Amino acid sequence: MSRLFIFLQYLLPHHALSRLTGKLAEGRFAKKLLISLFISRYQVDLSDAENEDPEAFESFNAFFTRALKPTARPINDLPGAIVCPADGAISELGAIKEDRILQAKGRDYTVGELLSDPALADSFTGGSFATVYLSPRDYHRVHMPAAGKLLRTIYVPGKLFSVNRTTADSVPDLFARNERLVCLFETANGLMVLVLVGAMIVAGIETVWSGQICPGPNKARKLTDFSRHSPPIELAKGAEMGRFKLGSTAIVLFEPNTVILNSALQADSPVRMGEHLAQSTQVLLKQRPS
């Protein structure tokens, strides 16, 4: 069955199917039925939602990208703590060995392929990464792992394969093939990248500074320089930075020797936004007795 699922993904018209889903999800037609079926199918828990009434949302997308209660996701505030950007499960995490990122057992891809910028990729060679998979039932807003200033974004066109575990295990270079948005930040720990990866029937990727960016032009790579934006776009740790309209994946990259990943986390570990993902090495060195 899994082989058939993968085979069909190579044949399906990814973008047409996803855009059609997007129009349906934005409309009010059958929104009550769609929301009801989705909650039942994926056992969605609305107890953390700012609005717990499924009938109060104006569209399926409004329901899917719902806000949470202010106290629903405490942000780890220990000195130097870097937090998980999203609810979901760790797909993989660890060291970027030379320039390669682990996708799944037996599969990896290069930082350059993911970022679509070889010069930027050099900054992360030998660094650290964490990949978080957001399932359909999860909260779908993405938040800042650490406070940062936005330097630039790169929209990278691509396919829209599913990003679930079955597909990650089977499709080579999955995250470097799919449509995605690369967001580069300057932080107290050095450069940090957040990559928002599109997926099958994901009808859009939004940021808090530009609104909806994906879907973008199907063939055009677009780089936007925010380094001299006035006023600067600066986001606090735990602040919302973007959201997915339907489930997908967020990948965070750190420069070498800047963070130590939480050793309690491994592939398939469930995570929530705001939980401890890594520790700043700079802060750890300051805390050591002289």
Rounded to 5 degrees, what angle do the CA atoms 209, 259, 125 make? 80
- Is 117 an annotated catalytic residue? no
**CB of 241 closer than 8 Å to CB of 145:** no
Q: Between the CA atoms of 205, 211, 214 and 216, what dihedral angle is there, to the nearest 10 degrees?
A: 180
Give residues with Cβ within 8 angstroms of 252, minimum separation 6: 85, 129, 130, 132, 145, 192, 193, 194, 195, 277
3-state secondary structure (DSSP) of residue 231: coil
Question: Is there a catalytic annotation at residue 138?
Answer: no
Cα–Cα distance, 167 to 274 (Å, whole number): 27
Cα separation, 210 vs 190, in Å, equals 24
Are 75 and 81 in contact by the 8 Å Cβ rule? The answer is no
**Known active-site residue 143:** yes
> One of 91, 123, 162, 248 is an active-site residue; which one?
248
Among candidate residues 116, 140, 143, 162, the one labeled active-site is 143
- Site of tokens 């940062």: 148
Which candidate in 87, 99, 117, 138 is catalytic? 87
Cα–Cα–Cα angle for 25, 233, 186, nearest 5°? Answer: 110
Nearest to 197 by CA among 265, 143, 144, 246: 246
Task: Indicate which residues carry an active-site annotation.
Answer: 87, 143, 248
